[in-house]
Chains A and B, each alone.
Chain A
Amino acid sequence: MISIKNVSKWYGSFQVLAECSTEVAKGEVVVVCGPSGSGKSTLIKCVNALEPFQKGEVVVDGISVGDPKTDLPKLRSRVGMVFQHFELFPHMTVTQNLTLGQIKVLGRTEQEARDKGLKLLDRVGLLAHKDKYPGQLSGGQQQRVAIARALSMDPIAMLFDEPTSALDPEMINEVLDVMVQLAREGMTMMVVTHEMGFARKVAHRVIFMDAGRIVEDDSKEQFFGTPRSERAQLFLSKILHH
């Protein structure tokens, strides 16, 4: 479904990604973790070309992301993305947030888009807030709306870029619950997160990054059993023992 081959990226002379390669199969849930500045967010943004890369290849459902001939808007519309800071559109109501892409990109009618949007809003438990503006919702609620918005486009895969990092602790679980449910329904997911509980529960594989490199790419059991690199062991010991 998603294939990343030898991707390298530089900001000027600073290399942010170095020869990154991995695969995400259909229905697979892959968690990407690592210390900050290790390039995880940059890597996940390369998948839908929000970040350009200079070397290597990313292929999503058979389509090369880096190819200048690729219809990027069309490709992006098929890959849902959830951001650290939610990025709902603050000047639109929750319902408008949910219908904009469906109407403008997928060409659905206003009624179709609304029905679909409200169904998903109900699914994340926020139907009562359909006419509110994002600024009137809590962080956890905004992130659930953002997930519903991404799902409204009927994506073939979902990318999550630190979806719970900006949330107050008591709101993290309501977002993770939605993600766990999604994973159990067989959605293909690539998730940048430090939530190891989530990784243990639903991930198939865990990727560990450091200094722009993929240091570990293991099955979940392997990763939590015996991570091979010292760097990964140190990272795990730091975030797991509290």
Chain B
Amino acid sequence: MGFDFDVIERSLPYLFRDGMTFTVTLTLLAMTGGIIFGTLLAMMRLSALKPVSLLAGGYVNLMRSIPLVLVIFWFFFLVPYIGAWLLRESQPVKVGAWLSAVITFTMFEAAYYCEIMRAGIQSIPRGQVWSGYALGLNYWQTMAQIVLPQAFRNMLPVLLTQTIILFQDTSLVYVISATDFLGAAAKIANRDYRLVEMYSFVAVVYFIISYALSLLVKRLQDRIAIIQ
């Protein structure tokens, strides 16, 4: 049995217009949401109020201790029932693979972004916070103007590296039959029975994009450093 690589060319529009668009959009949304939510979690973890830091710590440890695939699964099947319960409806609420994936990845990645931002916030000398307070800024202003911009800049390479991992992890949405890049390829592969060709191609594309991004992060690292 020979290989037929034409199948790739024939399915390119479907693979990229449908599949890759899903993957990239999901990555970008989960990154944005995850960094915002993760930063809030990091601030909570570092809070002097014990219940607040325990709550955030518990959430982060829970998310980091269960496989992503399980979270995707549970979320997809459970949320319709939780939604129905919250809205007091008798039927499960329709959420759909797309929305379910966006919410799951945002919440899951937030736990990892949280740990990165926590390290970033802790790397800012205490004197910077004192200096903000001494000017009369309140906690939120000091965070927004002084601590977070510096923490974010210091941690940008690590945040982007985590995003590359997220980009690869989004392929797990195949378990809820979403048509991401891998999902689209899998559908073609099964339809035309061209598994080797399609899965090889998918691997090469993931490699090229991820590796190119990691090179970009390396170059960025030198350019954004704050002059100390």
Chain A residues within 8 Å of B, Cβ to Cβ? 45, 48, 50, 72-74, 76-81, 83, 85, 87-91, 100-101, 104-106, 133-136, 149-150, 153
Contact A50 B130 (CB under 8 A): yes
Residues A77 and B150 in contact in the complex (CB < 8 Å), given A85-B125, A136-B227: no
Bound complex: CA A135 to CA B128 (Å): 14
Bound complex: CA A105 to CA B150 (Å): 20
Closest chain A residue, CB of each to CB of B127 = A87
Pick from A48, A85, A91, A104: contact of B134, CB below 8 A.
Answer: A48
Chain A residue numbers with a CB within 8 Å of B135 are 76-77, 100-101, 105, 149-150, 153
Chain B residue numbers with a CB within 8 Å of A48 are 133-134
Chain A residue numbers with a CB within 8 Å of B136 are 73-74, 76-78, 101, 105-106, 153
Closest chain A residue, CB of each to CB of B154 = A91
Chain A residue numbers with a CB within 8 Å of B125 are 85, 87
Closest 5 CB pairs of A and B: A77-B136, A135-B227, A101-B135, A87-B131, A105-B136
Write the nearest CB–CB distance from B122 to chain A, whole angstroms: 17
Question: Would you call the interface of chain A mostly helix, strand, loop, or mixed?
Answer: mixed
Contact A101 B130 (CB under 8 A): no
Chain B residue numbers with a CB within 8 Å of A91 are 149-150, 153, 226
Bound complex: CA A74 to CA B137 (Å): 8
Chain B residues within 8 Å of A, Cβ to Cβ? 125, 127-128, 130-131, 133-138, 141, 145-146, 149-150, 153, 226-228
Contact A89 B138 (CB under 8 A): no
Contact A90 B226 (CB under 8 A): yes
Contact A90 B227 (CB under 8 A): yes
A–B Cβ pairs within 8 angstroms, 29 of them = A50-B130, A50-B133, A50-B134, A73-B137, A76-B133, A76-B135, A78-B136, A79-B134, A81-B131, A83-B127, A85-B125, A85-B127, A87-B127, A89-B128, A89-B150, A90-B150, A91-B149, A91-B226, A100-B137, A101-B135, A104-B141, A104-B145, A105-B135, A105-B141, A106-B136, A133-B227, A134-B227, A135-B228, A153-B135
Write the nearest CB–CB distance from B38 to chain A, whole angstroms: 20
Chain A residue numbers with a CB within 8 Å of B133 are 48, 50, 72-73, 76
Residues A135 and B226 in contact in the complex (CB < 8 Å), given A87-B128, A89-B128, A91-B153: yes
Chain B residue numbers with a CB within 8 Å of A150 are 134-135
Bound complex: CA A149 to CA B132 (Å): 11
Contact A87 B130 (CB under 8 A): yes
Bound complex: CA A85 to CA B131 (Å): 10
Chain B residue numbers with a CB within 8 Å of A87 are 125, 127-128, 130-131
Q: What 16 new A-B contacts, CB under 8 Å, besides A77-B136, A87-B131?
A: A48-B133, A48-B134, A73-B133, A73-B138, A81-B134, A83-B130, A87-B125, A89-B150, A91-B149, A91-B150, A91-B153, A100-B145, A101-B136, A104-B141, A133-B227, A136-B227
Bound complex: CA A87 to CA B133 (Å): 12
Bound complex: CA A78 to CA B131 (Å): 14
